[in-house]
Amino acid sequence: MTENDLMLQFNNVSKEFSSGLLKVTKTLAVNEVSFDIKRGEILSLVGESGSGKSTIANMILRIIKPSMGQIYVNKKNISEFPLEDYYKQVQMIFQDPFSSFNYFYKVDRVLNQAVLFRYGKISKEERKKHIHKVLTLISLNPEEVLGRYPHQLSGGQLQRFLLARILIIEPKILIADEPTSMIDACARAEILNLLKHLRKEINLSIIFITHDIGQAQFISDRVIIMEGGKFVEQGLTKQVFLNPKHKYTQNLLRSVPSLYRKWT
Ligand SMILES: Nc1ncnc2c1ncn2[C@@H]1O[C@H](COP(=O)(O)OP(=O)(O)O)[C@@H](O)[C@H]1O
Ligand SMILES: [Mg+2]
C-alpha cells in the first residue's frame, strides 16, 4: 500500500445533533473520530444501535455535514467536489432494498438511470449490453428480473440488483449500511460474498456497517468497534476478535451465538 492508495480519511470528525422543540437537546452522535480506508479494503464499523454508525455513513454521503473536523476523498475535502462527480466516486446501499426503488416503475429503471449517469446518452443496444453484463456478473438472470416491478422480486434479489447498479457506476468507495439486516439468512451470505467479489472486480473500498460481529468477521480486513460515538477499538479483524482489548468488544463477542465463535 502506498500513500496514493488512501481513498477516504476522517480527520477528528464530530457530529452534534440539536433536537427538540427549542433545539436544546444535544446529542453528540460522533465524537472526534479519525480513520482512513485504502483502495480495495473492506472496513467494518461495528456497534450497537445508536452508536453513531449511520451518522458516519451520512456524513460520507454528504447527507449531513460534520459539526467539526474534515473528511477527504482522494485527499480532497469532500465539500469541494461537485455533487455529481462525488457520487460517481462514492455510492451506497442501505438496509431496506425496497426504499431504493419506486414502486410504480419496473426495476429496469434503476439500471437505465445508472447507465445514463455513468455513460451519458448511449444507444439502446449498448445500454442493454452493459445491463446484461452486470446482471450476469452478479448471478442474476436478466430474463428473470428485467421487466418486473419491485414487489415481484425478493429482498435478496433487489439487493443484488442494487449491487449490479454499483457495478455499472463503478464507484471507488461503497458505503453499505446494514445491507443484509432485512433479508433472509440464505440471501445474506450471498450478498456478503458478492460484496467481496465486487471489491475484487472493481477494486472497490467498502465501509461495511453492521451490529453483527459475525458478518464483520466474515467480510472485513479491518474493523472499528464503536460505542457512544467513539471508537473504542480498531485493528485487523483477526487481531481485534482474537484478542479483544476493550470490555465493550469482549461483551459484544460474548453475546454472539457460539456458531460464530470460531476464533475463541
Ligand atoms: N437527525 C438526528 N437528529 C437528532 N439525533 C439524531 C439524528 N440522527 C441520529 N441521531 C442520534 O445520534 C445517535 C447515533 O445515531 P446513528 O448514527 O443512527 O446510530 P447507529 O447507526 O449506530 O444506530 C443516536 O443517539 C441517535 O438518536
Ligand atoms: Mg444505523
User: Per-10-residue mean pLDDT for the chain, 264 residues long?
Assistant: 81 95 91 97 96 98 98 97 97 90 94 96 95 93 95 93 95 96 87 93 95 93 97 96 90 71 50
How many C-beta neighbours within 10 Å does residue 239 have? 14
Report the pocket of ligand 1 as residue ranges, CB < 6 Å. 17, 19, 27, 29, 47, 49-55
Nine-digit cell string for 104? 410504480
Query: 82 C-alpha vs ligand 2 centroid, how far in Å?
Result: 26
Non-local (6+) Cβ contacts of 29 within 8 A are: 15, 16, 17, 52, 55, 229
- What is the predicted pLDDT for the residue at 186? 84
- 86 occurs within a structural domain: yes
Q: CATH number for the domain including 236?
A: 3.40.50.300
Name which residue sits closest to atom 8 of ligand 1, judged by CA: 55
- 19 occurs within a structural domain: no
Cβ-defined contacts of 150-156 (< 8 Å, 24+): 150/98, 150/101, 150/102, 150/103, 150/107, 151/103, 153/107, 154/183, 154/187, 155/97, 155/98, 155/182, 155/183, 155/184, 155/187, 156/183, 156/184, 156/186, 156/187, 156/188, 156/190, 156/191
- What is the predicted pLDDT for the residue at 2? 59
- What is the predicted pLDDT for the residue at 264? 46
Query: 136 C-alpha vs ligand 2 centroid, how far in Å?
Result: 31
3-state secondary structure of 209: strand
pTM above threshold 0.75: yes
Name the residue with cell 453492521: 210
- 191 occurs within a structural domain: yes
Q: Give, as one character, the DSSP assignment of residue 199.
A: H
Alpha carbons 123 and 129: distance in angstroms, whole number: 10
Domain that holds residue 227: 3-13+30-260
- 23 occurs within a structural domain: no
How many C-beta neighbours within 10 Å does residue 184 have? 11
- 248 occurs within a structural domain: yes
Nine-digit cell string for 194? 458478492
Question: Total structural domains in the chain?
Answer: 1
Determine the straight-line distance between the first and last CA of the chain, rounded to whole angstroms: 30
